[in-house]
Amino acid sequence: MILVTGSTGLIGSATCEYYIGKRNDVLGIDNDLRSYFFGPVGSNKWKEKKLKRSKYYKHFSLDIRNKTKINEIFQKYRKKIKAIIHTAAQPSHDWAAKEPFTDFEVNANGTLNLLEAFRYYCPDATFVFTSTNKVYGDRPNFLPIIEKKFRYELKKNHKYFNKGIDERMSLDQTTHSLFGVSKLSSDLLVQEYGRYFNLKTVSFRGGCLTGENHSGARLHGFLSFLIKSIVHKKKYFIFGYKGKQVRDNIHSADVVNAFDAFIKKPKRGGKVYNLGGGRQNSCSILEAINIIENLSNIKSNLKILKQNRIGDHKWWITDNSKFKKDYPTWKIKISLQESLEEMINFELNK
């Protein structure tokens, strides 16, 4: 049995579908708080209905801040839970600044509730946490970045140019955004439960996670919302950096395969892995717009704002080497082009 928090989100729903497809029982926890964060456009209720069609799925409309209810679920299924995959979160830079208490309570306190229930009721299980590269704050912006016509780029002789940024990058003395701080707090908690209590825990620090099941909104879900905006001919606002900020994009299916690889051969001691699309799946916003326009044959309507998001990255490409070394059978299977084609077709055929 697999317990998934944020079970109707992009990664959560992909995780549920993966294990349902393997005829594993799945417990899903999600109260569609995303609709509170982002309004109707961000709601995942449609995915909840889809998941509920399976006899292998049981849904709990529950807030992870509710410690009592979380403990009740863990107590009831304590002998069956093999893994906890924690994807629930408040995921937006900008929204976090609007309601700091809500952001921190969901991301940090909610994670603590789950870790304590895991430690007390099913300590032999595996705890997988969906962290973020935002735990590094704006540290990447101090790399030797140069400006090109359509993207920012590192100097070619830099050690990160080919492989990307690894887990040794400092987390300290940078601007993280309040969202980055709450996620870093939960990331450290997951590590500490692994180290201090010798449990099987892992933090995956994701790059830009994407896929056709993403309910993208203006404040979260870069590629999804960009495609929605272009396909439906709505104005898209780029937040600073001239639209040249670079992201590496990884499809939700490749993320779930990484989770499963770890669960099959878990390690104790609070493991940490960067997980992203790598250089081959990287693009700037301007480059993404160009690809989407060509694939959809629809012209974008965009406006570039001067002010960037506080703590936002100018350039991020993930080095997956550490995870690939520990789990050599895992590899990225879905290209950026394939992801964009899937997402465009999904949006056009809604």
Are the CB atoms for 333 and 178 separated by under 8 Å? no
| pLDDT of 237 above 60 | yes
Q: What's the predicted TM-score (pTM) here? A: 0.94
Top-confidence range, 129-133, 292-296, 343-347: 129-133
pLDDT reported for residue 338: 92
Closest CA to 223 of 320, 292, 272, 280: 292
Token couple for 194 = 């692994």
pLDDT reported for residue 152: 97
pLDDT reported for residue 189: 98
Are the CB atoms for 331 and 253 separated by under 8 Å? no
Are the CB atoms for 235 and 229 separated by under 8 Å? yes
What percentage of the chain has pLDDT greater than the value 70?
97
| pLDDT of 25 above 80 | yes
Residue bearing the bigger pLDDT, 252 or 236:
252
Residue-wise pLDDT tens digits, 26-63 = 999 999 999 999 888 888 899 999 999 999 999 999 99
Residue-wise pLDDT tens digits, 259-297 = 999 999 999 999 999 999 999 999 999 999 999 999 988
DSSP alpha helices (H): ranges in the chain?
10-21, 34-38, 45-51, 67-76, 93-98, 100-104, 110-121, 160-163, 177-196, 222-231, 252-264, 285-296, 321-326, 336-348
Query: What's the residue count for the chain?
Result: 350
Q: Coil, helix or strand for 320? A: coil
Burial string for 32-59 (b: 16+ CB within 10 Å, else e) reads: bbbbebbeeebbbeebbebbeeeebbbb
| pLDDT of 14 above 90 | yes
Structural domain boundaries of the chain? 2-348
pLDDT reported for residue 306: 87
Residue-wise pLDDT tens digits, 113-126 = 999 999 999 999 99
- Domain 2-348 annotated CATH 3.30.70.270: no
Phi-psi region of 188 (alpha: psi -120 to 50; beta: other; left: phi over 0): alpha
Residue carrying the six token digits 């456009």: 41
| pLDDT of 217 above 60 | no
Q: Which helix (H) or strand (E) holds 239?
A: strand 235-239
| Contacts for 61 with CB less than 8 Å, ≥ 6 apart | 30, 31, 32
pLDDT reported for residue 307: 85
CA 53 to mean position of chain CA atoms:
25
pLDDT reported for residue 239: 86
Give residue 215's pLDDT band: very low, low, confident or very high (50, 70, 90): low
| Contacts for 149 with CB less than 8 Å, ≥ 6 apart | none
Closest CA to 242 of 164, 315, 157, 165: 315
